[in-house]
Amino acid sequence: MARDATRRRVLAAAAAALPLVAAGCKGISVLGSPPKAAPGVTVATEAIAVETQLIAHYGAVLRTVPGLAGTLRPLLAQHHEHLARLRARLIVPPGGQPLPRPRATPLLTAPVPGTSAAALGYLRHAENAASAALLAHLAAAPPSLAELLASISASEATHALVLTTPATHR
């Protein structure tokens, strides 16, 4: 339900303000270093990077094997929902600090296979890798973001299940 998306948001602005106060007793040089982002900001940024990569992998497969569109479109649509919900966790103040650069490692580096079955396996690996990558951030996330990560990770596990059995259920 949408109330969860708004219940608790990670405020990039709040993260930026705190270190400046703490720096007051340490001399002017401390003010020159950029403030560190709050953990939630870093986690959300990493999760956004994971979803963005996954969406790019779907795009690459759809360009290579267009015949898979019927199977892949509903899953891809859910990834766009994941991305939107994650982005809603970040409020970036205009002209504020740039967001931390994600350190996320690539989900897949191999080229997209040309056959349907191999392409489904390729995306299955990507889904499993993304599901695991999100869970790796679970401990560092603020509570409501942790719930969102666990939910998205589970959704991606179910996608991998669908990609295992390409014959459509219904």
Q: Does 167 bind another protein (CB under 8 A)?
A: no
Kindly indicate which of the ranges 18-26, 39-47, 60-68, 149-157 contains the residues binding another protein, using the contact rule CB under 8 A: 149-157
Helix axes 39-64, 116-135, angle to 10 degrees: 180
Regarding 132 and contact with another protein (CB under 8 A), the answer is no
Return d(Cα 122, Cα 115) in angstroms, integer: 10
Per-residue binder mask for another protein (CB under 8 A), 15-54, x = binder = ----------------------------------------
* Contact status, residue 13 vs residue 93, Cβ threshold 8 Å: yes
Report in angstroms the alpha-carbon separations of 88 from 6, 85, 122: 8, 5, 29
Shortest Cβ 11–another protein spacing (Å): 18
Binder among 60, 64, 157, 166 for another protein (CB under 8 A): 157
Could you tell me how many residues make up the chain?
170
> Applying CB under 8 A, does 71 fall inside the site for another protein?
no
How near is the Cβ of 40 to another protein at its closest, in Å? Answer: 12
Q: Which residues bind another protein (CB under 8 A)?
A: 1-2, 4, 74-75, 78, 81-82, 85, 131, 135, 138-139, 143-144, 146-155, 157-159, 161-162, 169-170
